[in-house]
Structure 1
Amino acid sequence: MEYVIGHYSYGAAGGQTNMGHMNQNRGDTMAGLAERLGQEMRESLAAYFVLPRLQEMAQACLEEKLQESLLFGKMTVLHYRMFAGEDERIYRAAAAVELMVLSLDMIDDVQDKDNKSVVWNGYAPEITLNLALGMLMIAQRLLLEGGFDPERARQSARLLSMQVLTAVHGQTLDLLNEIPDEEAYLDMVSQKSAALLVCACMIGTMLATGEWMEQVRGYAEQLGIAAQIKNDIRDLANWDNKNDFLNRKRTLPTLFLLQAVTDEDRWILDYFEGRLTMEDVLHRRDELEAIMEKTGTMLYSSVRMRTHYYRFLDLLGELNLDVGWQEEMLALAE
């Protein structure tokens, strides 16, 4: 996917002029990062959610979020440091990115009606939506009022809003669940989950350089696609309420499976097309796993995942980064 940010045009050459000075900041890139991000996010929610009950619920949602890896915020900081950014206020920008991701996760869970264990699904859906919308607005304010150069701050806020809109398009395609083939699936993933990783990486890059770097956008998108395929493989293998087969979700693995089944396994097509109920197939887990093995569904999906991951590695290598930064990036991409 190509992303146009407002009416601005960004060249790909900028940003590399500082590569000789990147080593100076590597030592503080990841040290204590999760703690620092958590502090910034807690303070932001306390400052902007003035209704006590709303703030209490927002902080509870945040504490659950802080149990995760905070990959997106870490990617923002890493890219800022990689391109010689030195301002400590980058942690506030990274907190903005994580609040954006948290808000969309909350909305996604309300829409999908799954992931019942998270704290925000214990609230009324309308309250969860209010919390998510508030967090999204806070993210914008943190970028615009974070103390960076005004033009770079505007570029970053514009990018965040554009990528959220792109993700909304991708989420809508996912919810409609009408994806006909692998090409349409990859287009949906590029708009949905990959767009958010592009956002995280590019905000760090743009705050450091003031420029759009197409190489960064390209490898972030490829990494995001690989990560989504990995999730889809997991969600087909796990036989629980998020199982993509039981939920008739059209993902890369299930699309391949639907194309590969033979007439003797037609019950799989019958289930996906609504002619069988979940109760008709719940007892056929072993049979389904045998069919996936026979058709090579998981093998094919794994190969496609690795294809995008290797493309990420190729594009990352084109930047000729110092080996230390490459190691930091690969550690986060694990």
Structure 2
Amino acid sequence: MLTEVHKEMNNMISQHTHVPELKDLALSFIKEQTKDSMHWSKLTLYSHRMFCGKSEHIYKVAAITELIFLASDILDDIQDQDHHSKPWMQHPKDYMFNIILTIVLSSIGELNTIFEDKPTSVNKVNDLIIQSIYGQQLDIQNTVSTEEEYFFMLEKKSCSLIRLACYLGYSSLKNNDSNLTNILDELAAITGIIHQLENDINDILITEHKNDLLHKKRTLPVLYLLKHGDEFPIIKQYYEGEISKGEIHAKKDEINQIIQDSGCIEYARVIQTLYIHKFDEVFETLDAVSPWKERFRDLVYTEK
């Protein structure tokens, strides 16, 4: 199943990319992306299969999902300047922006062909991509100061793309009703929050890899620390520019201990658990077939 998706990803890029260097780079990035579980294309496949979908284009549609997430990952890593081991971080930014455009435009071009008789579906996908870009912009502006603003940013940045992955699956059905659309849309949004909170929890401690605190990101655990700034003054001072990154890094062990003792990780985990329970409640209302329904649910509990 996933082999077919990988093949469609390669075919799409090969067909639409006429600059050899860009094509070779894009294909190498696809190879890197498909080393993992191909989590996002599975969302599309399961969103289709669990409603007895049998579209002849479903592997191509799932490939479009995976390509759009690949473009988003590349953009996110460039803007955040992390995941330096990824192959797209080894090339000039100018090249990567061209790669991103190539991937997205190739995907949308294929989508227009597949959904030729469903123009509203293409419009919906375009809208979800734009919402995700809006969320990405809010993220890099880094002006979030409240939990309400954080979850709004999250809904745009993370939830929009997961909505897209699910939407591409169920919009490929011959028939779907508004109730199904609403339920899957809600499940997708909750899934986006659950996964982002997992990332926030994993990236709060200072390590040699990606770290939100060193980059002054305003994630849920960080907002907790800043809200209780009097208890953790060194964190607040760093975010206000009174302490340098070098000083923070030099006190890495001390700060990691502060983070572990602060309760910020436990707080984020409790919020995540509430969303998991909410997912389970909504999921129970979904009339879908096995084993795809259970596989869809299991993706929520699996890190990408």
Given candidates 29, 47, 60, the residue that maps to 2:15 is 47
Q: Which moved more, 1:105-114 or 1:212-221?
A: 105-114
Q: Distance in 1 between matches of 2:150 and 2:215?
A: 16
Q: How does 1:148-297 map to 2 (within 5 A)?
A: 150-152=116-118, 154-208=119-173, 209-212=175-178, 213-262=181-230, 265-297=232-264
SS of the equivalent of 2:207 reads coil
Q: Residues of 1 paired with 2:132 and 2:10: CA distance?
A: 25
Q: Does residue 1:331 correspond to 2:298, yes or no?
A: yes
Code of the aligned partner of 1:235: D
Contact conserved, 1:220 with 1:312, CA < 8 A, in 2? no
Aligned: 1:94 with 2:59: no
- Partners of 1:85 and 1:155 in 2: CA distance: 19
Alpha-carbon distance in structure 2 between the residues aligned to 1:319 and 1:79: 11
Return the letter of the residue paired with 1:269.
K
Contact map agreement 1:76 1:201 (CA 8 A) in 2? yes
1:323 offset after TM fit, Å? 5.1
Which secondary structure does the structure 2 equivalent of 1:158 belong to? helix
Tell me which of 61, 65, 75 is aligned to 1:107: 75
**In structure 2, what is the Cα distance between the partners aligned to 1:314 and 1:115?**
35
CA offset digits 1:253-291 (Å, max 9, x no partner): 10001112435x312111011111011121322322332
Query: Partner letter of residue 104 of structure 1?
Result: S
Are residues 88 and 304 of structure 1, via their aligned partners in 2, closer, same or farther at CA, if it must alter by over 3 Å?
same
Aligned twin of 1:305: 272
1:151, distance to aligned residue in structure 2 (A): 3.1
The amino acid across from 1:71 in the alignment is H
* One-letter amino acid matched to 1:309: I
Stretches of structure 2 that go unaligned for 5 or more consecutive residues are none
Q: Counterpart of 1:136?
A: 104
Q: In 2, distance between residues paired with 1:325 and 1:262?
A: 49
Q: Is the 8 A contact 1:82 1:325 kept in 2?
A: yes
Identical-residue share of aligned pairs (%): 28
Match of 2:49 in 1: 81
Residue type of the alignment partner of 1:175: I
Quickly say closer, same or farther: Cα 1:205–1:143, change in 2 above 3 A: same
TM-score in terms of structure 2 length: 0.93
- Count of matched residue positions in the alignment of Structure 1 and Structure 2: 298
Contiguous gaps of at least 5 residues in structure 1: 1-32
Q: 1:19 maps to which residue? A: none
Distance between the aligned counterparts of 1:204 and 1:323, measured in 2?
Answer: 16
